[in-house]
Amino acid sequence: MTPRRESPGVADAVLSVRNLETYYGPIMAIRGVSLDVREGQIVTVLGANGAGKTTLLKTISGVMEPEKGEILYGGRDIAGAEPDEVVRAGIVHVPEGREVFPLLTVAENLAMGAYTRRDPAGARDDEEMVFSYFPILKERRRQAAGTLSGGQQQMLAIGRGLMARPKLMLLDEPSLGLSPLLVSEIFDIVGRLNREQKVTMMLVEQNAVVALDVAHYGYVMELGRIVMADEARLLLESKDVQEFYLGVKEETQRGQKRWKQKKTWR
Ligand code: ATP
């Protein structure tokens, strides 16, 4: 990590991404993304399949290395830092598809989340904190994670992330594959964790309605670029966002071309 020279654009931003570019070989997946995550907020990044949301989170968490740009966090540029260094700095990534350790128990999975910590007593307290938000995990603490339902695995993935006592949590599509009831339960808890545990969140979602409902601020991403940014409640009311999601619906119903050809963002 290199020391930062100038101050970021938004005064109370915990994370500022500037002109980020990330490639898969010759394919440019992130095309000059800039965004800010304010301390204490939930910031959502919306976008269809393949927009680049996962790649963006992987670049912030150090799983992928950017070709260009800055990731300013805590007064430093962490672009290209190793994933464990990023975790130690206070950023945890809860990946898409949960990715819990299936053969380990719930308790062992949670313990893995605390691997960077040197305060066993604090980690034990945080395990109780996780259980207070997800009581089902306490009931199943000795059960192999692979035998949990999808919703319980998502709770475990978030719980494991919390065990690192993050300042910033990167959440990749927690709604994926879950019933509407579970989605609303998990998003309620995400909102509570933000308010009560003061975890700043960057939430990547395709489910715009639930994400904008819990978030303070939102960005819309398409083809590797940010095409819209506003307060979450304004995005929710925005005709463009509503039309975007109607467009997606029309596409699946009638097998028509992309909405973008009807609606221009840029
Ligand atoms: P999803 O909701 O499906 O996860 P996303 O918005 O997170 O979508 P990414 O997974 O970040 O999108 O993908 C961004 C672009 O990078 C897409 O065009 C995708 O095809 C491409 N891509 C993703 N993973 C790879 C890979 N391993 N190799 C090559 N191209 C990839």
Per-residue pLDDT tens for 215-253? 999 999 999 999 999 999 999 888 888 877 644 444 444
In the CATH hierarchy, which fold is given to the domain comprising 2-90+166-256? Rossmann fold (3.40.50)
Going from the Cα of 66 to the center of ligand 1, the distance in angstroms, rounded, reads 14
Ligand 1 atom nearest to CA at 54: 7
Going from the Cα of 138 to the center of ligand 1, the distance in angstroms, rounded, reads 35
- To test the pocket of ligand 1, the residue of 21, 28, 49 to mutate (highest count of ligand atoms within 8 Å of its CB) is 49
Going from the Cα of 107 to the center of ligand 1, the distance in angstroms, rounded, reads 32
Distance CA 119, CA 126 (A): 11
Residue 98 confidence (pLDDT): 79
pLDDT in tens, 108-131: 999 999 988 888 888 899 999 999
Residue 52's CB: how many other CB atoms inside 10 A?
Answer: 24
CA quadruple 52, 53, 57, 59: dihedral, nearest 10: 10
Contact by Cβ (8 Å): 145, 106: yes
In this predicted structure, the answer to whether residue 34 has a pLDDT above a threshold of 80 is: yes
Domain parsing of the chain, residue ranges = 2-90+166-256, 101-164
Residue 241 confidence (pLDDT): 82
Contact by Cβ (8 Å): 53, 204: yes
Backbone angles phi, psi at 89, to 5 degrees: -75, -10
Strands (DSSP E) contained in 63-184 are 68-73, 76-77, 91-94, 168-172
Q: Please tell me the pTM assigned to this model.
A: 0.87
47 touches ligand 1 (CB under 6 Å): yes
Structure tokens at 176: 């994926």
Residue nearest to atom 18 of ligand 1 (CA): 50
Ligand 1 atom nearest to CA at 224: 14
